[in-house]
Structure 1
Amino acid sequence: MAEEFEVPSPHEHHLEEVAERAHESRDNFAGKIAVMTAIMATIGALFSYQAGSTESEAAMNKNNAAIKKTEAANQWNYYQAKSSRQNLSELATHIPGVDAAHYGAEAQRYKAEKEVVQKKAEALEEEAKAWDEKSELVLHQHHRWAQAMTAIQIAISLAAITLLTRKEWLKKVAYGAAGASVVLGTLAWLHI
């Protein structure tokens, strides 16, 4: 039977020594960074969810606005058709040998119908405007969530570099970026 021998590489040997020294000296630098990175990743996941959710909501609001604009355009087309019929009826009242009273009544009917259609078209335009405004507000909130997500990703990257370099000042910068992310997330949550 052949025996297997494991020959560690110099790199593996160095990593074991560093780990042993850190454990013996009770150095918890790496542990603190690891916990902070896990917390930042969790916050980042929440920010990412919120960013996606608000983006979808803004798109739905914009879609609703487009639907209302189309309905309003249809009403304005209907209004134009009623105007054309009203004009033709008014013109017919001036043609000799035609029942002027009948066409005069038709012109009045088209005028009344036109007013109803106009009010409906204007109401649909107002609804479209309201949906557009709502979409813009939610889109602004989405941008805040995306900014918060970007800041937390930067903080996580800085934390990884901090772990490799063991620079205390870099750890503070990573924590600062995480703090900025939380501020941006709070602004998004408050719709600011």
Structure 2
Amino acid sequence: MAEALDTIQDEVQEHAAESRFNGFIALFVAVVATFMALCNVKDGNVVQAMQQAQAKAIDQWAYYQSKGTKQHIAENSADMLKTQLEMNPGLKPEVRAKVEAKVAGLEAAAKKYEKEKEQIKTEAEQAAKDYDTMNIHDDQFDLAEACLSVAVALAGVTALTKKRWLFGVACAFAGFGFLFGLAGFLHWNLHSDVMAKVLG
């Protein structure tokens, strides 16, 4: 009778320990999944901002090219008018003055386009830098989500198999996931080129 009671007591204690362990795994999964969801939302916002930065860079470079085209047209037109003035030395003074004024206006426009191009180039380069910076954070969130997903999967397998070492592996993946997720949120310069290439 005493042996039966001891066996029942052992089974109750074992069941209670398993129940606590499963409860801890459930809490672990809830925390990891919540952080993973936050990373996913932030990553979506980062991707949208990256698309905007990329679109801005493309627009600015197109604008830069259009200003360059206008500059070349103005310079070529001024050169043609100067050539005409040189080839026609006998033009009436009022006609010559009008052509010279036109040449001066075209040269001024060409200089204005050159200045505008520099400003546009600066904005385009900044948009490209912004894109590159955000791409690092996008990679961080991608790495975080991958590690956290593996951690949740391993935690589920741990609950089924009761292998505590497997839960340790899940915790390791979760640790990396939290590290990369926090790096993305806090703009840390933490990046794994190897992992980014594997996941890219």
Q: Scaled by the length of structure 1, what TM-score is found?
A: 0.83
1: CA distance, partners of 2:44 / 2:105: 51
Q: Which amino acid aligns with 2:87?
A: I
Instruction: Tell me if 1:48 matches 2:48.
Output: no
Q: How does 1:112-123 map to 2 (within 5 A)?
A: 112-123=108-119
1:109 Cα deviation after fit? 2.2
Please report how far the alpha carbon of residue 25 of structure 1 lies from its aligned counterpart in structure 2 after TM superposition.
3.2
User: What residue number does 2:136 align with?
Assistant: 140
CA 1:41–1:67: 2 relative to 1, 3 Å: same
Number of aligned pairs?
Answer: 172
C-alpha RMSD of the superposition: 1.7
1:130 pairs, out of 101, 126, 130, with 126
Q: After TM superposition, what 4+ stretches of structure 1 lie above 4 angstroms from structure 2?
A: 21-24
Amino acid aligned to 1:68: Q
Deviations along 1:2-28, one digit per CA (max 9) or x if unpaired, are: xxxxxxxxxxxxxxxxxxx67873122
1:64 and 1:31 map into 2 onto residues whose CA distance is: 50
Q: Which residue of 2 is the match for residue 4 of structure 1?
A: none
Give the whole-Å Cα distance in 1 for the aligned partners of 2:176 and 2:48: 25
| Offset, 1:169 | 0.6
Percent identity of equivalent pairs:
22
Match of 1:25 among 7, 12, 15: 15
- Asked whether the 8 Å contact 1:76–1:117 carries over to 2, the reply is yes
Deviation readout 1:116-169 (Å, 9 max, x if unpaired): 111011211111111111111111111101111111001001101111111111
Cα distance in 1 between the residues matched to 2:98 and 2:12: 102
Which segment drifts farther, 103-112 or 52-61?
Answer: 103-112
State the TM-score, normalizing by the size of structure 2.
0.80
Where is the helix percentage greater, Structure 1 or Structure 2?
2
**How far has the Cα of 1:101 moved from its partner?**
4.3
Distance 2:31 2:38 in 1: 11
Which runs of 5 or more residues in structure 2 are unaligned? 1-10, 190-200
Paired letter, 2:185? W
What letter is aligned with 1:85? Answer: S
C-alpha distance 61-55 of structure 1, shift in aligned 2 (>3 A): same
Matching of residues 1-192 of structure 1 within 5 Å = 25-27=15-17, 28-96=20-88, 97-98=90-91, 99-191=95-187, 192=189
Q: Deviations over 1:27-68 (max 9, x none)?
A: 222111111111111111011111111111111111111111
Question: 3-state DSSP class of the match of 1:93?
Answer: helix
